[in-house]
Every structure is written in structure tokens, then in C-alpha cells.
Amino acid sequence: MSALALALVLAAAIIHATWNFLLKRSGGGTAFVWWFATLSAMIYAPLALAVVWWTQPSLGWTHVGLMFASAALHTVYYMLLDRGYRSGDLSLVYPLARGSGPLITVLCAVLLLQERPSAVAVVGALLIGCGAVLLTGNLRRLRDRGSLPAVGFALLTGCMIASYTLIDKIAVAAYLIPPILQDWAANLGRVVLMTPMALALKSELHPTWRRAKKNIIAVAILCPLSYILVLTAMVFTPVSYVAPAREISILVAAIMGTQLLAEGDAARRLTAAAAMVVGIVCLALG
């Protein structure tokens, strides 16, 4: 992985962890997700349209299909993640989802896209995945019947992460859709798909806006920005390198949790963090 790609992905990881922290602190919910998705579509519309005007990309039905597929997969991703959080602890669902996602992505990239990551890069991907799972704490929780629904939703979320990552890789690298346009179009599609759900909960829309307006605005800016950086890196970097590297956000989130949310068990977190840092180094060397 080049230094530029690594810098883009690490910056994206920090931004991703930050907006997830804000989302958790605000309490989240369908109304919150709809608000920030809608606001994101509005904020980034001028930039996306400017990119279209400047680059004049050749867009056909295949390009539109890739944008819609990304929107649909991201919508399902948010729904599964929400169900996971309602079924189990954040410390179980988030690391398992984010850790399984890149491993599935690497496997699919090798099998479907004929990418051939080096042995060092594969070791790095495995270290990042193992470090993410270690962050769950007591691994016996994964066998606890009470945790099975949460584990199931987390793994399905990981599948969605792998799916939309591969779709977006094809969109920006093979079909040359500008990253900003791909993310904006997918976000706009997500707003359309989520609006019926938001209308069903319309009594929550205004209270949610009044309660968490600052967090909604911040997430609306940071969420697309983090993924646009990832998509930009995927234009010139194999997805089997980018997908695992972006999961360093789990490390950043762990630090935020320890320092800002007073979460304990520093020894386990540091061990997991060390494994993930070594994994990132392996990806960079690979």
C-alpha cells in the first residue's frame, strides 16, 4: 500500500471513529440516521454536481445500477447494525461487525476480483481481524446463547460491509465513477429508501432534531467525508488492502471509549490495539 493510500485510509479511520462516537453519544435511532443522511445529501450536493460538471463522467445504466446497489446495501447495513445494537452490547457488535467485514472483503477480492495480496498483507488483515475480535473482551460471550442474536446481526453487518465495499470498489476503479459522486448518489438513494420508515416515526423527527441538532450536523459532514477518502484510496489501491486498513477505526474508537467514556480493561484494549497496529504495518509493507 502506498503512503498516500495509507494516509487517506488512516484519516478516514479517525473521522469514522469520531462520527460513530457522536452517533453513540447522541443515542442514535432511525430518526437520527434519516436526519443525518438527508442533511448529508444536501451538504454534498453542490460538490457532487461540481465534480460531474468538471469531469463529465460517462454514465450509463450500469453506473446507475452500481449507485443504487450501494444505496441498498448501505441501507440494509444501517438496519442490521441498529438491530445488532438493540440485541447486544456495543462492545460486542461493533468490533465483530467491523472485524469480520474486511476479512470477508479480502476473501471475496481474491475469489471474485482475482486480486492477489502478498503473504505479509494477508497476515496484516488477519491481525486486524483478530485484534477487532479481541476487543469484544471475553471471547466466551460469542458462545453465549443470549448473545447469539447480536452475534448473528453483527456477522450479517460484516457481510454488508464486505458487499458494499466490493460494489464501490468496482464503481470507482472499474467504471470510473468519481468517489464523491458515488458516495453522494448512494446517500441520496439511502434517503429515498429510508423516508417511508422515517415518516412512520414522524412524531420522533422534530424531538430528535431539537435534542441532537449539533451531533446530526457533525455526523452529516463527517460520515460521507470518511467514506469518500476510502473510495479515493480504492481508485488506485487493491480493496484487499484498503478494507482491512480502515478498520483501524476500532482502535481509535477504543481510545475514545477509554478516555472519553471511562471504559476500562486497558490491558486487553492495548493488546488488541498492538495487534491491529502491527497489522497496519504489515499492510503498508505488503
SS3 at position 60 = coil
Query: pTM of the entire structure?
Result: 0.80
pLDDT in tens, the chain (286 residues): 788 988 999 999 999 889 878 887 787 788 888 999 999 999 999 999 999 999 888 889 999 999 999 999 999 998 887 777 777 766 677 777 877 776 777 777 778 777 777 888 788 878 877 877 776 665 555 566 566 788 888 889 989 988 898 899 899 888 989 999 999 999 999 999 999 988 998 889 999 999 999 999 999 999 999 989 998 998 888 877 787 777 778 777 777 766 676 656 667 766 777 787 787 677 667 6
Grid cell of 35 as nine digits: 436526519
| Domain residue spans of the chain | 3-285
What is the C-alpha to C-alpha distance for residues 65 and 183, in angstroms, rounded to an integer?
Answer: 13
Contacts of 212 (CB under 8 A, 6+ apart): 26, 27, 32
Nearest 10 degrees: Cα torsion 44, 97, 25, 251: -90
- Phi first, then psi: give them for residue 27, nearest 5 degrees: 100, -15
